[in-house]
Amino acid sequence: MSGEDSKRLSTGIVVAITVATVVGVLILLVLGYVLCRRRNSYQRTQFENDSDISTTNSSQYDFKTIEVATNNFSSSNKLGEGGFGEVYKGTLSTGTEVAVKRLSKMSGQGTREFRNEAVLVSKLQHRNLVRLLGFCLEGEEKILIYEFVPNKSLDYFLFDPEKQGQLDWSQRYKIIGGIARGILYLHQDSQLTIIHRDLKTSNILLDADMNPKISDFGLSTIFGIDQTQGNTNRIAGTYAYMSPEYALQGQFSMKSDVYSFGVLVLEIISGKKNSNVYQMDETSTAGNLVNNAWRLWRNGSPLELLDPSIGRNNQSNEVTRCIHIALLCVQDNPEDRPMLSTIILMLTSNTISLPVPQLPSFFPRSRPEFEQVSVSESSQSTVKSVSDSICDTTITELEPR
């Protein structure tokens, strides 16, 4: 072999080794990326791809059993109705009282949401979360069976002038703390990281001792390891409780649940619904509840927000602190809102100083993003335009432009 041939051979070997090394490194990088993606999304895909909800820890019931338990879905057993369908009280053959959530065939909540709720709730165990006992999936029937919670939902008491007085301040404060602990469990303390995405008074149930239980996990999202934010082009939920970044951009995170919690706290304190979300005038007493709370806070009279039915027997410092916490929760920038663990410390310790909340921007009266959006009342299935009554509407689907 000549010297020139030997040189060519050596060059070819070097090139071959270099190419093989580069290809090997690229393969390793791709494999590492894929494995990382799989690890981060493992919890999420485990549920989203799980088409067999019979693998849940809850029991599967046949439709005939549910019919008997609810007296053939008798109107006298009906507990309530929402965009998803109807809820009935039932009694199983064992004597156990249950709440039966029957998905309407016309509901915006489809098979994905039903499966999500059935699989998800069966994995959760906390005193401030409603407990799923079983389900029925038979033909077109999609039914969830929950523990029976005798005192209905928070809105049943909170917004009824005849029942508001039954919730004194100590009960309302206990409810605020219980809701916070339930959300903290979803965000940090359960085996899964869960964003509820539809926290509102009608989804807070009250047991015999008026302890709150978070319900309705059809829209909940499971986050993977190290995931802090998600995006969707299918915005669903109740607009009055939505954070700005979720309502306008489809971005959701733990902090979007924190925003909803802040609205809940203001409603619990005031006994009023968050309404007129497009109100621009911050000085108007008829404005949105969040804006009104800010106005009173700036004027140094936050206690004017307090529900008059509570009377004078309340802890003014405690009420003021809760309003302060709520205003921190509804700040425009998600990064400025506290985490639930911090919120609970703020609620339980008077020694922790609270930061000064930032004044929010005010929504204009109308936005093109929300024109021609179909919504349904949470208490009925009729479809309306957003311009009718935005404060009580539940957005079933919204495609941002």
What is 209-266 written as a DSSP string?
Answer: T--EEE---TT-EEE-TT--EEE-S---EEGGG--HHHHHH-EEEHHHHHHHHHHHHH
Chain centroid to CA 162 = 29
| Integer Cα distance of 230 and 194 in angstroms | 11
CB–CB of 177/347 below 8 Å?
Answer: yes
pLDDT at 109: 56
Q: Do 163 and 140 belong together in one domain?
A: no
Domain count, the chain: 2
Place of tokens 């003014």: 316
Question: Helices 254-270 and 340-348 sit at what angle, rounded to 10 degrees?
Answer: 30
Is 307 annotated in the active site?
Answer: no
**Per the residue annotation, which of 155, 198, 257, 392 is the catalytic one?**
198
Range of the domain at 328: 154-395
As a whole number of Å, the end-to-end CA separation of the chain is: 70
Two tokens, residue 22: 């580069």
Strand-pair partners of 141: 138
Among 214, 203, 206, smallest CA distance to 166 is for 206
Q: What gap in Å lies between CA 348 and CA 346, rounded to an integer?
A: 6
Yes or no: say if 273 and 240 are a contact pair by the CB < 8 Å rule.
yes
Quote the CA–CA distance of 158 and 172 in Å, as a whole number.
Answer: 10
Q: CATH code at 92?
A: 3.30.200.20
Residue 261 shares a structural domain with residue 367: yes
Is residue 307 a contact partner of residue 164, using CB atoms and an 8 Å limit? yes
**pLDDT by position in tens, the chain (length 401):** 555 656 556 676 766 777 778 777 788 887 777 665 554 444 444 434 444 544 455 688 999 999 999 999 999 999 887 667 789 999 999 999 999 989 877 655 566 667 777 777 777 889 999 988 888 988 888 898 999 999 989 999 999 988 998 999 999 999 999 999 999 999 988 877 888 888 999 999 999 999 999 998 777 776 554 545 566 656 667 888 988 988 888 888 899 999 999 999 999 999 999 975 544 444 444 458 999 999 999 999 999 999 998 876 678 999 999 999 999 999 999 999 999 999 999 999 988 899 999 887 654 334 444 333 333 333 332 223 223 333 344 444 443 33
In a domain, 357, yes or no: yes
Any domain includes 41: no
pLDDT at 282: 44
Answer yes or no: is 384 within a domain: yes
Same domain for 193 and 135: no
Query: Where among 96, 112, 147 does a domain terminate?
Result: 147
Per-residue exposure over 370-394, b if at least 16 CB sit within 10 Å of its own CB, e if not: beebebbbbeebeebebeeebebbb
Residues 142 and 168 in one domain: no
Question: Is 310 within a domain?
Answer: yes
Residues 6+ apart with CB under 8 A from 268: 154, 158, 172, 175, 176, 201
Both 249 and 369 in a single domain? yes
369 and 298 both lie in a single domain: yes
